């Protein structure tokens, strides 16, 4: 997964400056998680997905291994739209199954990084000569501009539990955007991490090897490089904990001491000893909270697929005015 280029354009830098200025001026300082993912951050995330503690990716992949075939055979989509064009191997499971179902015409990956998208598209065009590959540059948090000529029916996939990065209001907004882009025959395929023993969840974000800590600190490296900020990475510590009331992981960078950070274009940002920047939330769902979120966006859960430990779920949803079931 890559979201920001190592050399972002002027518009991206302006947006970053705005996000950083507003995020760091709040009582609880905050940074948007999308700034983790420069080249190094994407590599670190890749490493995270292979960690023994990080069960999410491997559980989702196992579910897709089992279910891509049956789901695609039942839905026979002409198009696959993927939000946040994620890890290539999971995409391939879906594309293989769509081609095998005999209905596939088009794959539309959506991501904010044009560079990353074009790279991935070039590979996929070689591997899937019978499919059109038409990447779309855009922020998945914004309304989807899929166009009137999207072949029907389409499956819109949002995998990797990235939905967890949105708070309930943000998730509802995103789901509404998805619902608005769907036609009656289209389906939404969502991958979501589930509520479970907090110790298991906390371990996934506090790995023994310290890769998640490196990943977390990388956002400061990005700000130093892109904005000329002077964050001292040694002055901040990784902390991740599960909030049992809000059902979410919060990731923070904690400053041990009082310090002041200079960010050109933003100004001086003071930190008191023990103060933190919240860098990510990762919300965990159960069947009820997910169907509630879907319903509030005019979507109806049609299928609920989990692994045997009910650790992770794949959900198929339709517009609530659609007929039939997958
Ligand atoms: C890519 C948002 C699903 O929340 O588990 C992994 C990112 N952060 N370890 C997640 C992440 C720390 C991941 N998502």
The pair of structure tokens assigned to 58 is 């491997």
* 196 Rama class: left (phi>0) / alpha (psi -120 to 50) / beta: beta
Is the CB of 91 within 6 Å of ligand 1? Answer: no
Give the model's pLDDT for residue 117: 87
Within the chain, how many helices (H) and strands (E) appear?
9, 14
How many alpha carbons fall within 13 Å on the CB side of residue 208?
4
Percent of the chain whose predicted confidence (pLDDT) is above 70: 96
Is the CB of 42 within 6 Å of ligand 1? Answer: no
Report the separation in Å between the CA atom of 33 and the middle of ligand 1, taken as the mean of its atom positions: 9
Atom of ligand 1 nearest to the CA of 160: 3
Give the model's pLDDT for residue 41: 93
- Residues of the chain with pLDDT below 70 are 1-8, 86-87, 324-326
Give the model's pLDDT for residue 113: 78
Is the CB of 164 within 6 Å of ligand 1? Answer: yes
Query: H/E/C letters for each residue in 200-267?
Result: HHHHHCCCCCCHHHHHHHHHHHHHHHHHCCCCCHHHEEEEEEEECCCCEEEEEEEECCCEEEEECCCE
Which of 115, 190, 98 lies closest to 151 in space, CA to CA? 98
Is the CB of 41 within 6 Å of ligand 1? Answer: no
Is the CB of 82 within 6 Å of ligand 1? Answer: no
Which residue puts its alpha carbon closest to atom 5 of ligand 1?
282
Report the separation in Å between the CA atom of 38 and the middle of ligand 1, taken as the mean of its atom positions: 15
Q: Provide the 3-class DSSP secondary structure of residue 63.
A: helix
Report the separation in Å between the CA atom of 251 and the middle of ligand 1, taken as the mean of its atom positions: 10
- Asked if 165 contacts 282 with a C-beta cutoff of 8 angstroms, the reply is yes
Which of 305, 300, 297 lies closest to 324 in space, CA to CA? 300
281 bridge partner residues? 250
pTM of the predicted structure, to 2 decimals = 0.95
Which of 73, 74, 92 lies closest to 82 in space, CA to CA? 92
| pLDDT tens-digit map of 266-302 | 999 999 999 999 999 999 999 999 999 999 999 999 9
Q: How many Cβ atoms sit within 10 Å of the Cβ of residue 257?
A: 10
- Asked if 193 contacts 285 with a C-beta cutoff of 8 angstroms, the reply is yes
| pLDDT tens-digit map of 98-138 | 999 999 999 999 988 787 888 889 999 999 999 999 999 98
Distance CA 234, CA 203 (A): 23
At 206, phi and psi to the nearest 5? -135, 60
Q: How many Cβ atoms sit within 10 Å of the Cβ of residue 196?
A: 16
Q: How many Cβ atoms sit within 10 Å of the Cβ of residue 147?
A: 10
């Amino acid at each position: 997964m890559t979201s920001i280029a190592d050399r972002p354009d002027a518009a991206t830098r302006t947006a970053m400056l705005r996000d950083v200025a507003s995020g760091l001026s709040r009582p609880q300082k905050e940074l948007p998680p999308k700034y983790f993912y420069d080249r190094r951050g994407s590599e670190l995330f890749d490493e995270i997905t292979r960690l023994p503690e990080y069960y999410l990716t491997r559980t989702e992949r196992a579910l897709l291994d089992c279910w891509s075939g049956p789901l695609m055979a039942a839905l026979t989509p002409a198009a696959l739209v993927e939000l946040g064009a994620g890890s290539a191997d999971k995409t391939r499971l879906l594309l293989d199954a769509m081609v095998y179902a005999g209905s596939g015409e088009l794959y539309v990956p959506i991501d904010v990084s044009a560079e990353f998208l074009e790279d991935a598209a070039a590979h996929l065009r070689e591997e899937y000569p019978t499919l059109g590959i038409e990447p779309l540059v855009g922020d998945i948090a914004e309304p989807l501009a899929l166009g009137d000529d999207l072949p029907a029916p389409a499956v819109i996939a949002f995998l990797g539990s990235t939905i967890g990065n949105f708070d309930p209001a943000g998730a509802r907004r995103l789901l509404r955007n998805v619902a608005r882009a769907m036609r009656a025959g289209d389906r939404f395929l969502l991958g979501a991490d589930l509520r479970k023993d907090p110790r298991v969840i906390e371990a996934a974000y506090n790995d023994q090897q310290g890769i998640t800590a490196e990943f977390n600190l990388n956002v400061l490296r990005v700000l130093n490089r892109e904005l000329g900020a002077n964050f001292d990475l040694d002055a901040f510590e990784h902390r991740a904990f599960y909030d049992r009331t809000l059902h979410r992981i919060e990731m923070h960078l904690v400053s041990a001491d009082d310090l002041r950070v200079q960010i050109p274009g933003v100004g001086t940002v003071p930190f008191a000893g023990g103060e933190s920047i919240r860098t990510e939330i990762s919300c965990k769902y159960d069947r009820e909270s997910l169907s509630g979120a879907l319903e509030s966006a005019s979507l109806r859960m049609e299928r609920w697929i989990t692994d045997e430990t009910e650790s992770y779920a794949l959900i198929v949803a339709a517009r609530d005015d659609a007929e039939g079931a997958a």
